[in-house]
């Protein structure tokens, strides 16, 4: 992140059909913008999906990104979420090595404190589900790093504006 850059979270409503993600991602690539994270899924309205895209950009670049996104014909709407009024969540699945019974106890305790869920246990590993703000996921990952993370999958951020504003 450069000095005059900040994080923008773009809630982008798009047609749910083949090629749309490609066209969108390609616009970023072609114009030299970097996507920080992107998550896509269907929404309450038929035939539409929401792409939550986060980017670090200065103001002019952000403006250009929004205009170029809006220009894509399969993009119905682009909303810049107000960072102060935003609910952001990320899901991570983390497979951690279990060295001994002490490790198992400690990890189980940490999961309680972080309100994570243990969703699978085998003799030498467990899978933990972490949901929360990206910061919380980061913090948990840091905490358990020493135990030996075997595999990890993060979804990227998805977000909604609080309150009645749409």
Partner 1 sequence: MVKMSGSQALIQGLWSEGVRAIFGIPGGQIMPVYDALYDSEIRHILARHEQCAAHMADGYARASGHPGVCMATSGPGATNLVTGIATAYADSSPIVAITGQVAKPFIGKDAFQECDTIGIVTPITKYTLQPMEANEIPEAIKKAFLIASTGRPGPVLVDIPRDVQTGVSDISIPDKVEVRGYKPHVKPHPLQIERAADLLLNADKPMIWSGGGVIIANAAPQLRAIAELLLAPVVTSLIGKGSFPENHPLSLGPIGMHGRPEANKMVCETDCLLAVGVRFSDRSTGRFEEFCQDASIIHIDIDPAELGKNKKPNLPIVADVGIALNELLAAIKRKLAKREETAWSKRVEEIKEQFQNSSFGESKGYQPQIVEKIREILPSNGILTTEVGKNQMWGELYYKVIEPRTWITSTGLGTMGFGFPAAVGAKVAKPDVPVVDLAGDGSFRMTENSLAVCVDEHIPVTVVILNNSSLGMVEQWQRLFHDRRYSAVKLSGSPDFVKLAEAYGAQGFRAQSIEEFEKVFKEAIKSDVATVIDCPVAPEEDVFPFVPPGRGLKDILYGAESA
Shortest distance (Å) from residue 9 CB to partner 1: 20
CA–CA separation, 77 and 69 (whole Å): 9
**Which residue lies nearer to partner 1 by CB, 14 or 94?**
14
Per DSSP, the residues of 74-141 read TEEEEEE--GGGEEEEEEEEEEEE--SHHHHHHHHHHHHHTT-EEEEEETTEEEEEEEE-HHHHHHHH
Q: What is the nearest approach in angstroms of partner 1 to the Cβ of residue 70?
A: 7
Q: How far is the CB of 71 from partner 1 (least distance, A)?
A: 5
Contacts of 164 (CB under 8 A, 6+ apart): none
Question: From residue 65 to residue 94, what is the string marking binding to partner 1 with x (rule CB under 8 A)?
Answer: --xx-xxxxxxxx-----------------
Residue 69, φ and ψ in degrees, nearest 5: -65, -45
Q: Which of 32, 44, 46, 60 binds partner 1 (CB under 8 A)?
A: 60
Q: Which of residues 24-43 bind partner 1 (CB under 8 A)?
A: 26, 30
Separation of first and last alpha carbons in the chain: 29
Q: How far is the CB of 43 from partner 1 (least distance, A)?
A: 14
At 39, phi and psi to the nearest 5?
-135, 145
Output the smallest distance, CB 63 to partner 1, in A.
7
- Kindly state the number of chain residues that form the binding site for partner 1, as judged by CB under 8 A: 21
Query: Which stretch, 1-9, 35-43, 63-71, 147-155, contacts partner 1 (CB under 8 A)?
Result: 63-71
Distance of CA 165 to the CA centre of its chain: 22
Applying CB under 8 A, the residues found at the interface with partner 1 are 14-15, 18-19, 22-23, 26, 30, 60, 63-64, 67-68, 70-77
């Amino acid at each position: 992140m450069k000095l005059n850059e900040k994080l923008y979270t773009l809630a982008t409503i798009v047609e749910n059909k083949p090629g749309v993600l490609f066209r969108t991602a390609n616009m970023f690539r072609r114009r030299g913008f970097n996507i920080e994270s992107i998550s896509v899924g269907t929404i309450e309205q038929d035939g539409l999906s929401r792409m939550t895209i986060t980017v670090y950009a200065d103001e002019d670049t952000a403006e250009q990104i929004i205009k170029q996104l809006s220009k894509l014909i399969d993009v119905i709407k682009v909303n810049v979420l107000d960072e102060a009024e935003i609910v952001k969540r990320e899901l991570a699945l983390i497979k951690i090595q279990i060295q001994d019974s002490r490790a198992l106890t400690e990890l189980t305790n940490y999961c309680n404190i972080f309100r994570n869920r243990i969703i699978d246990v085998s003799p030498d590993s467990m899978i933990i589900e972490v949901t929360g703000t990206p910061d919380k996921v980061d913090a948990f990952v840091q905490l358990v790093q020493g135990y030996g993370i075997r595999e990890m999958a993060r979804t990227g951020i998805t977000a909604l504006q609080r309150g009645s504003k749409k």
